[in-house]
């Protein structure tokens, strides 16, 4: 006689306390495990997922239920993973071809000692936009302007604050930036629409900073200086690369592709192929070196020119050129997967539904939703200190609410960057702040007041939320209609522009 299969446990709807419990546990685990004990972020996220799993089991979810929810979340991230890999390949190919170094080479020469604070912002911003990394911009142009400031006896905190603000300005607006790619993909926003929408908050915040830097520069001593570091960097760039106008072709492909609204990943791939051809034709690199650069990143040891000594290259140049490759994005891919494990489990347990329903009953306006996003992102940044985590968690919490209210996804992606990406450089216990302080030689709390763009961007986001300025709208959408949607919704915000208030 066959035994009847046990009936599946009936899922219970979580109370508000139970729904909040996984979020609180996650913040606690991250605050202690990552910020205090310095445990790897992937393990901390897995621990958070395990804690959420216990709550889900209590609510009647089976492992099969959780696994299915996790698979759905991870499956929807496929487009994001493809773009991340394309960005890694693009940076590696642009670096070995000389496309990025040539833009940085001529960008370095804009330094003007008469307006050093303004120049500190603009120079690091240009390098960050071209390279897609705030760390690389601070580690190169930031070091240059700091050495000039010290030589001229100018304020090091002001110079450092301007350099940090410029580095993160460029990082936010660069299609090569990992956080820019992440914020656009997890919110289903075209990356170029995302960048365009960020101009509403980033430009006025930056202009405010530039005015302050200009005024501050009036009372600072000035004078000409022949920076040995700048001269050395220029010389070594020219030793490594051959400059040619055709090196701008890969950049032109990306710009034209973005203007024509072509899919991002294929455009980046085509640009990378062209850059690889230029690397072999103009720079003289081998077929194997080109593929290694795309896979694992460019290394100056690949240079095989007569009389060139790779061991003599200064660290400031190495920090900028030794980078890129698909493998450089794998840590971020792993962090994304681990974060989606947590997101899938709390979604399966119904915790997000309860929290969002409660939020909708308490917050009646679109401005309230955007301000709530700012508050949640700031809290996660302060506790977790990792922009990746802030972006992913806040996108999971608020994504469906924006859809239901007819708020275009670029409103969410912009807010995540304004209140998540740039704030971590101002929190002393975060990796970004530690790096900036160590690289520039100024304590975080000393340069914080002068990194004006970093803490005024989210204030503009709140202002726009209250006034309705720049808020883009689309047709309201129920959450279940979004399932299976591609990770990059081309033109979503552009479509919302027709209904902009």
Residues 371 and 392: their CA atoms lie apart, in Å, by 17
- Averaged pLDDT, 30-57: 83
- Residue 475: pLDDT over 80: no
- Residue 101: pLDDT over 90: no
Token pair for 478? 């129920």
**pLDDT tens-digit series, residues 407-462:** 888 899 999 888 888 888 887 766 678 778 877 888 888 999 999 999 998 899 99
pLDDT tier for residue 296 given thresholds of 50, 70 and 90: very high
Residues 244 and 284: their CA atoms lie apart, in Å, by 13
Mean pLDDT for all residues in the chain:
81
pLDDT at 484: 38
Residues 453 and 208: their CA atoms lie apart, in Å, by 8
Higher-pLDDT residue of 268 and 270 is 270
pLDDT at 277: 96
Higher-pLDDT residue of 389 and 162 is 162
- Averaged pLDDT, 208-232: 77
Residues 6+ apart with CB under 8 A from 64: none
pLDDT tier for residue 495 given thresholds of 50, 70 and 90: very low
pLDDT at 260: 77
Q: Residue 125's closest CA among 84, 153, 166, 97?
A: 166
pLDDT at 259: 67
- Residue 204: pLDDT over 50: yes
Token pair for 185? 């993909």
Pick from 42-46, 47-51, 199-203: least confident: 42-46
Q: What angle do CA 178, 35, 171 make, to 5 degrees?
A: 20
Token pair for 204? 């006025």
- Averaged pLDDT, 396-410: 84
pLDDT at 304: 87
pLDDT at 383: 60
Higher-pLDDT residue of 339 and 64 is 64
Rounded percentage of the chain residues whose pLDDT exceeds 90: 20
- Averaged pLDDT, 159-169: 94
Q: Residue 379's closest CA among 261, 297, 458?
A: 458
pLDDT tier for residue 479 given thresholds of 50, 70 and 90: low
- Averaged pLDDT, 116-140: 82
Which spans in 242-348 are helix H? Answer: 249-259, 264-281, 287-296, 315-321, 330-348
């Amino acid at each position: 006689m066959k035994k009847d299969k046990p009936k599946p446990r009936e899922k219970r709807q979580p109370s508000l306390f139970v729904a909040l419990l996984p979020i609180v546990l996650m913040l606690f685990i991250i605050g202690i495990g990552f910020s205090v004990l310095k445990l790897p972020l992937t393990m901390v996220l897995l621990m958070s997922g395990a804690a959420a799993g216990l709550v889900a089991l209590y609510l009647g979810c089976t492992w099969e239920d959780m696994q299915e929810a996790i698979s759905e979340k991870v499956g929807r991230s496929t487009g994001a993973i493809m773009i991340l890999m394309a960005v890694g390949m693009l940076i590696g190919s642009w670096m070995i071809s000389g496309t990025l170094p040539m833009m940085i080479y001529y960008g370095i020469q804009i330094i003007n000692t008469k307006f050093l604070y303004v120049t500190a912002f603009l120079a690091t911003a240009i390098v960050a936009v071209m390279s897609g990394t705030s760390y690389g911009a601070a580690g190169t142009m930031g070091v240059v302007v700091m050495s000039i400031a010290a030589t001229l006896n100018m304020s090091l905190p002001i110079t450092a604050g301007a350099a940090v603000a410029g580095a993160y300005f460029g990082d936010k607006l660069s299609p090569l930036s990992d956080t820019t790619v992440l914020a656009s993909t997890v919110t289903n926003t075209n990356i170029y629409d995302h960048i365009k929408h960020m101009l509403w908050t980033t430009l006025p915040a930056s202009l405010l900073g530039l005015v302050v830097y200009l005024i501050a520069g009036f009372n600072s001593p000035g004078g000409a200086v022949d920076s040995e570091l700048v001269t050395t960097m220029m010389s070594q760039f020219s030793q490594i690369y051959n400059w040619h106008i055709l090196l701008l072709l890969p950049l032109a492909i990306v710009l034209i592709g973005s203007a024509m609204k072509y899919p991002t990943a294929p455009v980046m791939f085509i640009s990378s192929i062209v850059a690889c051809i230029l690397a072999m034709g103009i720079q003289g690199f081998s077929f194997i070196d080109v593929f290694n650069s795309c896979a694992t990143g460019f290394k100056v040891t690949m240079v095989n020119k007569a009389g060139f000594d790779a061991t003599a290259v200064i660290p400031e140049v190495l920090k900028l050129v030794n980078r890129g490759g698909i493998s450089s994005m794998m840590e971020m891919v792993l962090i994304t997967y681990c974060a989606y494990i947590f997101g899938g489990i709390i979604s399966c347990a119904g915790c997000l539904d309860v929290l969002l329903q409660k939020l909708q009953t308490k917050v009646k306006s679109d401005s309230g939703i955007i301000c709530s996003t700012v508050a949640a992102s700031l809290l996660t940044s302060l506790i977790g200190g990792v922009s990746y985590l802030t972006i992913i968690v806040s996108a999971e919490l608020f994504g469906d609410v924006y859809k239901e209210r007819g708020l275009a996804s670029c409103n969410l992606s912009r807010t995540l960057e304004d209140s998540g990406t740039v704030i971590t450089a101002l929190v002393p216990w975060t990796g970004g702040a530690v790096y900036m302080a160590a690289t520039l030689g100024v304590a975080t709390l000393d340069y914080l007041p002068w990194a004006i763009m970093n803490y005024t961007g989210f204030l503009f986001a709140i202002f726009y939320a209250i006034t309705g300025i720049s808020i883009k709208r689309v047709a309201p959408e129920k959450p279940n209609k979004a399932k299976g949607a591609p990770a990059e919704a081309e033109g979503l915000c552009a479509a919302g522009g027709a209904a902009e208030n």
